[in-house]
Structure 1
C-alpha cells in the first residue's frame, strides 16, 4: 500500500492552506498514493496555544469542510484521513479525524479521546473527549486504526485498536518545542515521541504512520513563547523498523510502500497477543493502584 504523509507549515490563512493541501493530495495521488494522511488540524493554525472563546468560530464550517475534503478524496481516487475541528452542538466540540473512501464517501470518524492541557497545548478548553471509542475504520486499503496526537502516548489506545483488528496505526499530529528549551531537552522530547510510537508498533505487530506539522507558529495572544513544530513525520514497520522519515524543518510529501501482509509473519514470530495474561489485567481499569 503506497501511503503519503503530507507534512506542512501553516501559511497564515485557511484559504491558502486548503489550496496547498489539496494540491499536495493531487501530487501524492499522481505518484501512486492509495492512502493519504494529513496532519492534525491541517486547515489552519494550531490554535490551542491560548484560550480564546472567539476561536470556536473555526468549527462553524465543519460540515462544509467535510464536503470539501470528500470531493478532494473522490477527485483523486484516494483513501484520505483528514483532521478537522468539529462543532457537534452549541458548546460541544471535538478534535475529529474523518476517513474518506476513494469515492468520497465517509468510511468512518474518530474523535480524539485523550485531550492534553499543557502550556501552549490548551486543548481541554476546546475539545470534548471523544465518545466513539477505539474502533478501526474499514476502507478499501485496509482496516485503519486512526488515533490523534496525544493518543500517541497511551499504549492502551494502540492495543485496543489492534485487538479490534486494525491493520495499521495512524496518528495525525501537532507536536513541537519552544525555541527557548535547551537543545538536549528538545532532543529528549522528540526521541521520546518516536520511541513510544515505535513501541506501539512492536507491541502490536503493526506498521505505524505519524504525520506531524512543521514550522514556527506564533502565539498571537502573547501568552507563551510560540511553538516550533518539529516535523519528523515517519513510518515504521511492525518491528519498529524505520521505513521513512521526513525533515524537521521542511514541508514534504513523504511516500512509503507499506507491506500489510508482513504483519502476519511478524506476529507468528512474536505472538504477543497469544501470550497476554488477560486474567491478570484488572488493575488497568484503575487510575492508580495504592
Structure 2
C-alpha cells in the first residue's frame, strides 16, 4: 500500500431514472479523480431512488446482474480514470434472488470483488427484507465479512445497516482490512422534531467514527442527499441528511459534508494506522478466550 492515499467520497441526489442518477455519479467521480483521488466511494443504491420505502414487486425490474449496464458503466469509468471505484448495485443474482451489493472496480483489472449486504433492515420506510437477501457467510469463497484486495490496499466494504454493528467492522479488521468503507442511504422522517433528528444523525456519525477508533483504520462514509417521496402514499418520505465523512484511525474527522451534493477529497497518511495500533493495541489485548457468547442471540 502507498504511504499517502488520496480518497474521495461522492455525496449526491438520486432519481428513479438510472440515466440521470448515473450521470450525476459519473460527474462526481470525474471531479474527484481530477483532484487526484485514486479511491472513490459512491453511496448506497446511487443508480436509483431509495425504492425500499414501500413494497412493490414491480420494482424488482430495477435489478441487474453484476455485469449489467450499471456495472459495465462503472467498470469503464474506473478503467478510463485508472482509479479504484466502489459502486452500488441492486443485484439480480438469479430468478427470485436479489442482493444489495457493493461492487469494487480496479482500473484496467475491472471488477475485483463485491460485498453483498449482510444486515438487512425491515423498519418503517426501510423495507429492505422484501427486496434483498443477506449475503452468504462463507469465508472459503471470500464471501461475508471478507475484505477486497485492490491496487490501493485491502478494503473492508460494508453497506448501510451494517454500519451499526461493531462485529462487522471488527471481522473486516481481523481479516486485514486497511480501510472501512460504508456506502449508505439514511435520513430523517420529516415528521420527527429537530431534537430527534439531531440525535439520530449524531449517533450515525459517532458509531462509524468509533469503528475507526476500535480498529485503528480510516473510515469512508458516503450518504445521499435530498427528499425522496414515499410513492405508496403511506409514509412521509425520507429527507436524506448527507453528512458523508472521512475519518482517521483515531476517529478524527478529516472531512465532513453538509446537506448538499458534494465531493470530499482527502489525502490519508496510511502509515498512521500502524502508529495508532502501536499505542492503542486493541487487537493484542482482546480476550478471545472469553468472547464465545457473542455468537448467541442473547444471554438469558
Q: TM-score, normalised by structure 2?
A: 0.95
Distance 2:249 2:65 in 1: 38
In structure 2, the partner of 1:9 is 13
Alignment of 1:58-137 (within 5 A): 58-60=62-64, 62=66, 63-131=68-136, 132-137=143-148
In structure 2, the partner of 1:280 is 290
Displacement of 1:152 after TM fit?
0.3
Displacement of 1:285 after TM fit?
0.6
Correspondent of 2:233 among 202, 214, 222: 222
Does the Cα contact within 8 Å between 2:64 and 2:89 map onto a contact in 1?
no
Distance 2:98 2:251 in 1: 34
Distance 2:29 2:216 in 1: 29
How many residue pairs get aligned? The number is 289
Alignment of 1:245-260 (within 5 A): 245-248=256-259, 250-260=260-270
- Name the SS of the counterpart of 2:101 in structure 1: strand
Q: TM-score, normalised by structure 1?
A: 0.98
Distance 1:213 1:188 in 2: 19
Distance 2:24 2:225 in 1: 14
- Name the SS of the counterpart of 1:247 in structure 2: coil
Q: Please list the CA deviations of residues 214-254 of structure 1 after superposition, one character each: whole Å capped at 9, or x if unmatched.
A: 11001111120000000000011111111100012x10011
Q: Please list the CA deviations of residues 96-128 of structure 1 after superposition, one character each: whole Å capped at 9, or x if unmatched.
A: 000000215111110000000000000000000
Does the Cα contact within 8 Å between 2:44 and 2:88 map onto a contact in 1?
yes
Displacement of 1:64 after TM fit?
2.3
In structure 2, the partner of 1:166 is 177
Distance 2:17 2:212 in 1: 35
Alignment of 1:254-273 (within 5 A): 254-273=264-283
1:120–1:146 CA distance, 2 compared to 1 (3 A): same
**How large is the RMSD of aligned CA atoms in angstroms?**
1.0
- Name the SS of the counterpart of 2:30 in structure 1: helix
Does the Cα contact within 8 Å between 1:25 and 1:76 map onto a contact in 2?
no
Distance 1:270 1:28 in 2: 33
Give the unaligned 5+ runs of structure 2. 137-142
Correspondent of 2:57 among 49, 53, 57: 53
In structure 1, the partner of 2:38 is 34
